[in-house]
Amino acid sequence: MRHLLGIEDLSREEVVRLLDTAEAMLEISQREIKRVPTLRGRTVINLFLEPSTRTRVSFEIAAKRLSADAVNVSAAGSSLSKAETLADMARNLAAMNADVLVVRDRTAGVPQMLAERVRVPVINAGDGAHEHPTQGLLDAFTVRQALGGIEGRSIAIVGDIAHSRVARSDVHVFTKLGAEVRLAGPPTMIPVGIEQLGVKPCSSLDEALDGADVVCMLRIQQERLEGALFPGVREYARCWGLTRARLARARPDAIVLHPGPINRGVEIASDVADSEPSRILDQVTNGVAVRMAALYLLTGADS
Amino acid sequence: MMSVPRTPGEESEPRPGAPRPCRTVLDAQGIARASKRMAHEIAERNPGCERLALVAIPAGGVPVAELLSEHLAEIAGRKIPLGVLDVTLYRDDVIGRGTRPVPQRTRMPFSAAGARVVLVEDVVFTGRTVRAAMDAVLDFGRPEVIQIASLVDRGHRELPIQVDFVGKNIPTARAERVELRRSAAGEYEVVVT
Amino acid sequence: MSRLRILGARVLDPSRGVDERLALDIEDGRIAALEPSPVGPADQTLEVDGLWLVPGLVDLHTHLRDPGQEYKEDIESGTRAAAAGGYTRVCCMANTDPVNDSPAVTEFIQRRARQVAHVRVQVIAAATQGLRGEIMSEMASLAEAGAVAFSDDGHPIMDAGVMRRVLEYASGIDRTVISHCEDLRLRGSGVVHEGSHATCCGLPGAPAEAETVMVARDLELARLTGARLHIAHVSAARSVQMIAEAREAGVRVTAEVTPHHLALSDQEILGYDTNTKMAPPLRPARDREALLDGLAQGHLDCVATDHAPHALYEKDVEYSAAPFGIVGLETALPVLLELVRTERLGALQAIDVLSTRPARVLGLPAGTLEPGAPADLALIDPERIWKVDASALHSRSKNSPWLGRELQGRAVRTWVGGRLVHDLDEETRA
């Protein structure tokens, strides 16, 4: 495993390895001295061409817990194409002598295109609507932590599937680990051909929640209103928002995930987000552990 | 299983493809006797087992530490704190080995600050693992003292590490492998291959 | 008055249904004779054992980028690429800078072509001013200046009312309107075909209906106005169906398909190579099959390359931001020859759709080897294997999806008016 560009390309063994390694990393995060010397002297460059505070901070903490130096390069608001070509970007990064590149971009394919042009491992921190592999992994880790396993479980993913890289990574990771994955959302937000990924599209939220072990709620973005994709947050909340009442259709011990940040009262009701079934804060903690695992495993096979 | 004893220190290069000759240097009873003696030595060096804590280095150090813990509990009349400390992330030789090993579980249910820590290994060889373990322990607090207990000391140090409590000194050739494993009968034994 | 004789070639002339070994003589820029055995003396003889000799290929859809974007391509380099691809006549589209919506620009292109072009250049002028789709261009003046057809290619004419008037007016001066059928609203931010591959890649997709909706509209308008409509770069199965039905009903419609839509499918986008990004996009295999059938059965009249050069630094960016388009003048022939090898098309049929039929669509004096016709010819080695790389391509830009791959079949000589404009062997010797 030279890069972590997407979960689609990983074998089941590689996924399990990442999760098992994350277990050890989680323990480090719980110590008083939250640091091990493993990546001492290595440089991690966080190339965030799409702004993000949460994911970037998570990667930064992960790098520092492994004693690596984290450097943030952002190009907020400007797209790659206005700034420079991929080849130029790759050359500049190479000149900085980084050991790992963590890349986020608002369009799909950029981490892969950079990985083809640089000589260091690349971690995809989210590329357009394509994948967000560390999010998928931390979601899987959280489910494994809460329920003991993933095989045979029913997992409902709800929301704007078409534009969600989190949804795609979740679909890949959960199907690879043997869960039944159901998708639900407004018809305008279910992408063409999604059944080919081995998931079960549901026509309503209730159908998806019925007997589910895990409910992943996706964030609905205001910008989607412009594309005439749905009429507004009020109707969205009525039809697709997760409330206590609707959650009752899931299994009694079902857990709730959300990649954050949450739109309270839209896709998820406040009382659900703050209650027992919610593992949203665990996701954040586990995110650091999973990213530490990714940094650790990818920096191994070099000379 | 005993085979013809070899002259100590003799370099043995097995023929390629030939099964490596294997000799047991400590069987189950030998291990039991050695660990009992080591426990007494530890208790002697740490009067009253005050603030004593065992920290096992997985994987081999764990069964040894469990044996020591049993004996020490008898000697001290109470349970001695026992932790398991994975040192994979502290090693200096992980880079360039190819695929990274997945770290094992660490359980340190006590603070090392002010403790009289005994690091427990199955086999001490170059000393690098023990050095990594010392770095790891220090991240859990400042111990009063760190001592090292190992079932087997096979020599060939690359770092100035000494074993305070040894089960058995076994001279070996560098190319040989020494490991604690379970026999076909399910009992622990130390074999040299 | 020197006479060149080409001996031993397999002569394929779709205009007269000829496919046999003949000797062909060129004199004075024209085809002087075409006989089973040579008659009379010749000053120069070229022995070409078994190579194919065909009418020079005709491209109805090329972007020469000249004036204004010469860093991508210009009239000289673009026609050099054409010659290397076996083309003797190309029609260049109007989305230059400035847009070719005035006789001045048309005249500039033609003058420049006379100076530096390696092959014949015909001008397709803009249908609306500035390609804005609002006010029609001065079509009569443009036609007088030499424009052979009108098109806003690169941009669809979104306003049906405007399109209707453009068709009517063009009809009045007996010119064809070439339509780029794409509903921009349906396309939205789509950069690839909306299907399972787009979903997996996370790239925004546009459904085939973005094309078919406009094809349907333009066919209706062509029926209403009785005008001649040519549909550019057909890519969807449903488009082929509608064109066939309309033609059956008497609509004066013709249509073209690109080599890349005949050869590739949307699976190519996996991997994010921006040389797989063009408009209309590559589609699933079933659309490709429909295009192949359509071409074989004549519902689609001809092949046109939509040669669209872009600089390397323009394409070497994230997929969504990269400009649409690929070069195609030099790869059209091997791609079509592959269809002959896999028996999707006959040999004569392949040359027909590359040469004779395109000429017929716009009424151009090309695509024939009839004695007396201008000596616009290509000599093809169908067996020659070559690697598509930067050094092999003559175009200034190298944005081809076949970059790095090997293709089989290549033009080894091209003559325009009896003048040798391309000699592959000379080139490889140098």
> Which pLDDT does position B3 carry in this prediction?
34
Residues of B with CB under 8 A from a CB of A: 86, 88-90, 94-100, 102-106, 108, 111, 135-136, 139-141
Amino acid at A232: G
> Which pLDDT does position B40 carry in this prediction?
96
Q: CA-based Rg of chain A, rounded to a whole angstrom?
A: 19
Q: Which two tokens stand for residue C289?
A: 């099959």
Please confirm, yes or no, whether C381 is among the known catalytic residues.
no
Q: Which two tokens stand for residue A160?
A: 């704007």
Neighbours of A176 (CB within 10 A): 20
pLDDT tens readout for residues C170-198:
999 999 999 999 999 999 999 999 999 99
Q: Which residues of B touch A141 (CB under 8 A)?
A: none
- Regarding chains B and C, contact by 3 or more CB pairs under 8 A is answered as no
pLDDT tens readout for residues B29-62:
999 999 999 999 999 999 999 999 999 999 899 9
- Confidence class of residue A38 from pLDDT cuts 50, 70 and 90? very high
Whether chain B has a CB inside 8 Å of the CB on A145: the answer is no
pLDDT tens readout for residues A146-163:
999 999 999 999 999 999
Lowest mean per-residue pLDDT among A161-170, B170-179, C107-116, C180-189: B170-179
The overall pTM is greater than 0.80:
yes
Distances (CA, A) of B3 to B9, B22, C154: 17, 8, 85
- Confidence class of residue B183 from pLDDT cuts 50, 70 and 90? confident
CA C394 to chain centre: 17
- Kindly determine whether residue B97 and residue A300, on different chains, have CB atoms separated by under 8 Å: yes
Q: Which of C13, C152, C306, C352 is catalytic?
A: C306
CA torsion, ordered A134, A136, A141, A144, to nearest 10 deg: -170
Residue B11 pLDDT greater than 70, yes or no: no
Characterize C91-107 residue by residue with b for buried, 16 or more Cβ atoms within 10 angstroms of its Cβ, and e for exposed.
bbbbbbeebbbbbebbe
* DSSP characters over C290-356: HHHHHHHHTSS-EE---B----HHHHSS-GGGSPS----TTTHHHHHHHHHHTTSS-HHHHHIIIII
In angstroms, what separates the C-alpha of C258 from chain A's closest C-alpha?
A: 26
The per-residue pLDDT of chain B, averaged, comes to 88
Q: Which residues of C touch A110 (CB under 8 A)?
A: 318
- Confidence class of residue A229 from pLDDT cuts 50, 70 and 90? confident
- Confidence class of residue B10 from pLDDT cuts 50, 70 and 90? very low
User: Residues A239, A199: contact at Cβ < 8 Å?
Assistant: no
- Kindly determine whether residue C272 and residue A8, on different chains, have CB atoms separated by under 8 Å: no
The chains found to touch C (3+ Cβ pairs under 8 angstroms) are A
CA B192 to chain centre: 15
Q: Which residues of C touch A192 (CB under 8 A)?
A: 194-196, 198-199, 205, 207
User: Residues C91, C330: contact at Cβ < 8 Å?
Assistant: no
In whole angstroms, give the CA distance from residue A173 to residue A180.
11
- Kindly determine whether residue C318 and residue A113, on different chains, have CB atoms separated by under 8 Å: yes
CA angle C410, C414, C418 (to 5 degrees): 165
Whether chain C has a CB inside 8 Å of the CB on A201: the answer is no
